[in-house]
């Protein structure tokens, strides 16, 4: 059986190679995998959805007030200032939701509905998130006030 070989230039490796006579000197087109195309379409759709949602405007007129006593910034309705739509805690000696006992932690951030940061330099992000020293009640593995959130406890470095 005769085997005939030829020399072709491989553009990918930038060199000449010896191949069978049946090999083509120019390869076929690169095939694009369907997964990559689907991922690109998904990301484009996600980006379009995100950018369009930013442009939505509020239906009600609101006013921003600063409460110096509690150190919170409150967003209230213009028509009814007693109706607080949202509040954000600022300052050094306050807790965004509540203080536990006599503690007034410093440098805390709590973002989300019913989130609590109860120890200094702690961050609670998400609905019902708790951060800080929430010691469980005797005989239980979870704090009493943690209904369906997660717990992050701070640990002192030795």
Spell out the alpha helix ranges (H) of the chain: 34-54
Residue 24 makes CB contacts below 8 A (sequence gap 6+) with: none
* pLDDT less than 50: residues of the chain: 54, 57, 91-97, 146-150
CA dihedral (143, 145, 148, 154) in degrees, to 10, reads -50
pLDDT given for residue 94 in this prediction = 44
Q: What is the pLDDT of residues 58-100, one digit of tens each?
A: 567 788 888 777 667 777 888 887 777 766 665 444 444 455 5
CB 145, CB 132: distance < 8 Å: no
């Amino acid at each position: 059986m005769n085997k005939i070989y030829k020399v072709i230039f491989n553009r990918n490796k930038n060199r000449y190679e010896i191949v069978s006579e049946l090999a083509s000197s120019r390869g076929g087109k690169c095939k694009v995998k369907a997964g990559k195309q689907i991922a690109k379409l998904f990301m484009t759709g996600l980006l379009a959805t995100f950018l369009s949602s930013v442009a939505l405007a509020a239906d009600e007129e609101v006013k921003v007030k600063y409460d110096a006593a509690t150190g919170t910034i409150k967003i209230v309705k213009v028509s009814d200032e007693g109706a607080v739509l949202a509040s954000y805690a600022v300052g050094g000696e306050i807790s965004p939701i509540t203080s536990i006992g006599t503690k007034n932690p410093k440098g805390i951030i709590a973002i989300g509905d019913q989130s609590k940061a109860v120890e200094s330099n702690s961050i609670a992000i998400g609905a019902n998130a708790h951060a800080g020293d929430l010691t469980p009640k005797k005989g239980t593995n979870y704090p009493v006030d943690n209904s369906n959130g997660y717990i992050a406890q701070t640990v002192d470095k030795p």
